[in-house]
Amino acid sequence: QVQLVQSGAELRKPGASVRVSCKASGYTFTSYGINWVRQAPGQGLEYMGWISGYNGNTNYAQKFQGRVTMTRDTATNTAYMDLRSLSSDDTAVYYCARSGGYSYGQYYQGMDVWGQGTTVTVSS
């Protein structure tokens, strides 16, 4: 079945970096994109960005420009999200989610498959 499986929980100190992985299975990885969305405790959903499974093109939310890098490995059907210069405000559950092969518009069609979420805690 179609699924996204994310890496486990992470604990980081302020100023550090974190990498979260998202392994896809059950579909053609290069035909879709992967989005990253986070949710701070008790808060709503926050869009972080998108990466094409086909060519690695990215679309980062302005808030995270310069601090986030999204990559993918087509050999293992895995997407990665690196976030640098962490602060306590980055404590959240991070989700990856599949969408269409474009970062927005006609072929995006919403995020139809979600990972289970990865809890990232930033604390000294």
Partner 1 sequence: EIVLTQSPGTLSLSPGERATLSCRASQSVSSSYLAWYQQKPGQAPRLLIYDASSRATGIPDRFSGSGSGTDFTLTISRLEPEDFAVYYCQQYGDSMVAFGGGTKVEIQ
Residue ranges that bind partner 1, judged by CB under 8 A? 35, 37, 44-47, 50, 59, 61-62, 95, 97, 99, 103-106, 108-112, 114-117
> CB-side exposure of 46: number of CA atoms within 13 Å?
17
If 0-12 CB within 10 Å is exposed, 13-18 middle and 19+ buried, where does residue 3 land?
A: middle
Compare residues 106 and 124 and give the one whose CB is closer to partner 1.
106
Compare residues 88 and 109 and give the one whose CB is closer to partner 1.
109
- Least Å distance, CB 60 to partner 1, is 10
- Least Å distance, CB 111 to partner 1, is 6
Q: Please name the residue that has the structure tokens 């949710």.
A: 39
Residue 32, classed as helix, strand or coil, is coil
The C-alpha atoms of residue 56 and residue 80 are separated, in whole angstroms, by: 11
Compare residues 105 and 124 and give the one whose CB is closer to partner 1.
105
Cβ-proximal residues to 62 (8 Å cutoff; 6+ apart), any chain = none
Compare residues 4 and 18 and give the one whose CB is closer to partner 1.
4
